[in-house]
Amino acid sequence: MSDDTEPDGGPVVDEATERVDGSTDDLLERILARDDLVVVGFVLSLFVFPYLLVNLLTQIGEAIGFSIGGYVGLPTLVLIFGIVVIGFNLLLGYTGLLSFGHAAFFGVSAYAAGIFTAEATAFLPTAVAHSPLAMVGVGTFAALVIAWPIGFVSIRRSGVYFAVLTLTFGQMLYYYALGPGAWLTNGDNGFSDVNVGHLLGTFELEEAILGADFLRAYTWQYVFVAVAAVFALWMANRIINSPYGLIFKALGQNEQRVSFVGLDVFRYKHMAFIISAGFAGAGGALFAIHETYIHPTTSLYWITSGDFVIMTILGGTGSLVGPVLGALIFEYVSNVISGVSLPVIGAIGSLWRFVLGAVFVVIVWVFPKGVYGGVRDVVVALTGRGDDDGGEEA
């Protein structure tokens, strides 16, 4: 086969034709494995997502007597955390590095974006200083800048030590924001001076794009965050299909071998860390836009870092959109289920973490590969098409 391939693009064509030939019996599996189609599917689902989460669930909730519908801002919030965990998954799901400090990048970016809107008017036109796009740019940049040294130090250790080092850096920033840095962050009172201007100078983020009441969840803010989420997913897809994707996966499986094929393990792990911090930063700045208020506990605290880990594992590590499903389940339980009132037990309220824990245990037990991996396996099983490994045994 290698003899008759053309040097210019031959192998690629060969591979493509072979895929088509060999895929008739497991077409579905191939489709599910195609990352480009996953991106397209993600884009399409974003059009109906707010309607399903807010309108439809509210109607169902009214019919059965429980308030299970999402509120207007929830689809946006889910996507904000979705962006964070898409990046976090590059680190945890591919490279196999468990960071317990990604709240640092999320929070630093949120504060940087917020402080930028408050202070930049001194030297920039208000339209720029309050521009949501500029906020995301400034926040992401701040996250990348701080990720460089934190990664540089933490990557030198692996496993538990890496997790604890990242946790420590995150907590250092948390306590700084809470106490000594109060001149900058307003400490425990929270930073409320976040001035979010119009998107591209035109669109008021809080307004619904169509004005129609039943589509009120489709705000300009949702559009903005949805576009950002698509961009984030597209970036992640590009990264996974670049040499980095292969190298990240390889690092997670056999780090020693990676250095013995001639690749600089430290620099690639460092890049994985910085790239994932960039996604956390983008999410953090969007969070500042969404909340227009930043507190150390909602942004920099280690529990936020832990939430990223839970979302990623819940949704499915090592799959492109899986973690976004994790973010959806997490935010749904935390924001909607917490408001549900049950007979006998009463309001779930702050018991939501208990519910989430139960959901987490069940999902990890039933679907070790997370919701996305589990649904995929179920679909494949129901259609009677074994995947590559199973096919051999059958």
Partner 1 sequence: MSLLSTTSLVKQFGGLTAVDEVSFEVDRGETRAVIGPNGAGKSTLINCITGMLEPTRGTVEFDGEDITGVEPHDAVQRGLSKSFQTASIFPEMSVEENVEIAALAAEHGSFQLNFLRKRESFDEVHRISERMLDAVELLDQRDHEAASLPYGDKRRLEIAIALASEPEMLFMDEPTAGMSPGETHATVELIEELQDDLELTILIVEHDMEVIFRIADRILVLNRGRVIADATPEEVQGDPEVQEAYLGGVEL
- Interface contacts to partner 1, rule CB under 8 A: 1-2, 5, 7-12, 235, 238-239, 241-247, 249-250, 253-254, 256-265, 267-268, 271, 275, 388-389, 392
21 vs 213 by CB, closer to partner 1 = 21
Q: Report in angstroms how near the CB of residue 208 gets to partner 1 at its nearest.
A: 35
Q: Are 159 and 117 in contact (CB under 8 A)?
A: no
Distance CA 28, CA 375 (A): 13
Write down the least CB distance from residue 149 to partner 1, Å: 19
CA distance 353 to 336: 12
Q: What tokens appear for 247 in the block? A: 């190298």
**Nearest distance from C-beta of residue 7 to partner 1, angstroms:** 6
Closest to partner 1 by CB, 45 vs 254, is 254
Q: Helix, strand, coil shares of the chain as percentages rounded to 5?
A: 70, 5, 25
- Which regions of the chain does DSSP assign to beta strands (E)? 341-342, 346-347
Min separation Cβ 247 and partner 1, Å:
7
Tell me how far, at minimum, the Cβ of 81 lies from partner 1, in Å.
23
Nearer to partner 1, 9 or 346 (CB): 9
Q: How far apart are CA 95 and CA 87, in angstroms?
A: 11
94 vs 301, beta carbon nearer partner 1: 94
Alpha carbon 28 to its chain centroid, in Å, reads 26
Query: How far is it, in rounded angstroms, from Cα 132 to Cα 128?
Result: 9
For residue 288, the minimal CB distance to partner 1 (Å) is 27
Q: Which residue type occupies 183? A: W
CA–chain centroid gap for 305, Å, is 12
Of 269 and 290, CB closest to partner 1: 269
Q: Are 250 and 94 in contact (CB under 8 A)?
A: no
H or E, element range at 14: helix 10-22
Residue 279 beta carbon to partner 1: minimum distance, rounded to whole angstroms: 13
Which one, 34 or 238, has the nearer CB to partner 1? 238
Closest C-alpha among 143, 77, 154 to residue 104: 143
Q: Output 244 or 332, the one with its CB closest to partner 1.
A: 244
Q: Which residue has the tokens 């430290």?
A: 266
Burial class for 170, CB neighbours closer than 10 Å (0-12, 13-18, 19+):
buried
Identity of the residue, 185 or 312, whose beta carbon is nearer to partner 1 in the bound complex: 312
CA distance linking residue 182 with residue 176, whole number of Å: 8
Q: Report in angstroms how near the CB of residue 10 gets to partner 1 at its nearest.
A: 8
Task: Transcribe 27-60 into DSSP letters.
Answer: HHHHHHH-HHHHHHHHHHHHHHHHIIIIIIHHHH
Smallest distance from partner 1 to CB 155, Å: 14
Nearest distance from C-beta of residue 18 to partner 1, angstroms:
8
Calpha distance 287→114 (Å, rounded): 10
Distance between start and end Cα atoms, the chain: 28
* Residue among 34 and 267 whose Cβ is closer to partner 1: 267
Given the complex with partner 1, which of 238 and 353 has the nearer CB atom? 238
Q: For tokens 């948390």, name the residue.
A: 174
